[in-house]
Chain A
């Protein structure tokens, strides 16, 4: 394959296209497969981008923050909170630490217990918000010191639950990309089959073309151009349908969580427009490879 092959592909040469008669089922198959695959690729891309955004958010928003929970009897709670704040103020890597007010704690618990929660009657631990500075704090060392000086303190630097969530989101993103690769591979395989069928069905035409002095490049181009344009057209339709589907998904909301965040944001909406180009490229390479093999076989 050479630059000439790509130039010939872009050059409109209707007379050369007429050399190969249109074959109904391979044409329809190519358009359908590339359309369906482009449709799926749009969703795989949306999934991948949404997972990436989620992983970034979980990784960045909660990084650099920790929560200290003071579990102590009511009469010791204030003293232990004060001691904990003193320890935190002396800990390198802690930028700030503050005890949450009663109103803030009610706000945190209200999704589970309702807004009219009588906090003062419940044995609710005191929460202290810890903001890390640069460089970060030594969480293990802080735990040891808190263990000695504030027996009811439990440090939660969110690592325990944040890391698996970020890992899960990253896995989803990887799955999205793997799906796109598989979609590309499946498209290539289907177009190769369709191109092979078309080349085999037109073996007599290839023979005539050779008898009148056609070089392999001319013969291959007649097939490659046709399959590439079909794949491009099918992928365009699939992409528009896929994007319409994504547009119709419910908008992101806190209530819906991750599922409603599936979609594109900002320039991300431009990414699906690459799918028809990639589809056409896959079709071009698959047909060129199939034609080269078949022409060698037929010689």
Chain B
């Protein structure tokens, strides 16, 4: 699905990732961990084409990302749902409109939007909050709405950047259950988090690979997690 071969990324003269090789296979569940500033978000951005590798090869769905033009990249992003740490909502639009944004930009009809949207908002437990504006939402509601937006186009891959960073333990467990459920539907899931308790909690629900970024490189984490 997504494959990085000896990928390096440098910014402002300093290397943020060096010689990273990684393969996200279809239906797999990965955690990406490491201290703040280790490069977790950078790696995720590389995976969905927001950044391009300085060297090495990065392919998604057997397409070399470096060779895609802007419109091809847009089409690729419809197959990769992303839950951003800061959610990235449009504050002037309601929660329902924000969640439906991927449907809107991909040209799906209004009827399809309404049908998919109601089902999805109920799934993440926000069926009664669809008219609320993003600034009116709590941290947990924002993260669940971001997850709903990430999966509304039924992408093959879901990338989540610190999805539980701003929510309490109970809400983080609820989000984790939603992500595990997606994985059970066949989606490839990669969660970047520094929250080791989340990884431990996931062990009983899903077979996950845990990767750790250390010294600008990605390694398979040991059993001490």
Could you tell me which A residues sit within 8 Å of B by CB distance?
15-16, 18-19, 21, 205, 207-218, 295, 299
Contacts and interface: CB of A to CB of B under 8 A. Distances in A.
Contacts of A205: 90
B104 A213 contact: no
B105 A212 contact: yes
B187 interface: no
Interface in B160-206: none
Contacts, number: 58
Interface of B: 48, 50, 70-71, 74-75, 77-78, 82, 84, 88-90, 92-93, 97, 100-102, 104-107, 110, 149, 153
B70 A218 contact: no
7 contacts: A205-B90, A210-B74, A210-B77, A211-B84, A213-B77, A215-B70, A299-B70
Contacts of A218: 105, 107
Summarize A's interface: helix, strand, loop or mixed. helix
Contact of A15 (B82, B84, B97, B106): B97
B93 A213 contact: no
B149 A212 contact: yes
Contacts of A210: 74, 77
A216 B71 contact: yes
A212 B101 contact: yes
B70 A214 contact: no
Contacts of B110: 15
A208 B88 contact: yes
Given A15-B97, A19-B93, A213 B70 contact: no
A215 B92 contact: no
Nearest to B102: A212
Contacts of B97: 15, 18
Contact of B74 (A15, A18, A214): A214
